[in-house]
């Protein structure tokens, strides 16, 4: 999910301890531009108070980040939603805020 969507979702669930967000920047192209420092600057820009990780893979030998392989994700922004039992219930390119709020609320009720 993009940073604006992530910001709206974290705000929607800010008072709910049952919902946890994590952002992982997977870099499969543009390694010179999609850096850990750039991720941090976006985190600050959007005032995101969620853990963030940077998975750049190895642009020389294997440019596909391990996170993309494990979750079978594609381009960005990609969204993975995992239910309380640990099952992936959404794994798609992008999600709109309203759709995500409904899905998450259904999972935690």
State pLDDT tens for residues 53-76: 888 877 677 677 888 888 888 777
Q: Is the pLDDT of residue 45 over 80?
A: yes
Q: Please name each of the domains of the chain with its CATH number.
A: 3-108 (3.40.30.10)
Give the span between the Cα atoms of 31 and 18, in whole angstroms. 34
Contact 43, 4 (CB under 8 A): no
Q: What is the mean pLDDT of the segment spanning 85-108?
A: 93
Mean pLDDT across 76-82: 87
Q: How far is CA 23 from the centre of its chain?
A: 4
DSSP H helices in the chain? 3-12, 36-45, 66-71, 97-108
């Amino acid at each position: 999910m993009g940073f604006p969507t992530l910001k709206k979702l974290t705000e929607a669930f800010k008072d709910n301890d049952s919902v946890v967000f994590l952002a992982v920047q997977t870099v499969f192209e543009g390694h010179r531009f999609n850096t850990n420092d750039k991720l941090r600057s976006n985190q600050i820009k959007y005032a995101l108070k969620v853990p963030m990780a940077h998975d750049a893979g190895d642009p020389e030998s294997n440019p596909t980040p391990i996170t993309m392989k494990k979750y079978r994700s594609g381009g960005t922004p990609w969204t993975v939603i995992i239910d309380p039992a640990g099952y992936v219930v959404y794994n798609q390119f992008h999600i709109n805020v309203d759709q995500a709020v409904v899905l998450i609320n259904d999972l935690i009720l």
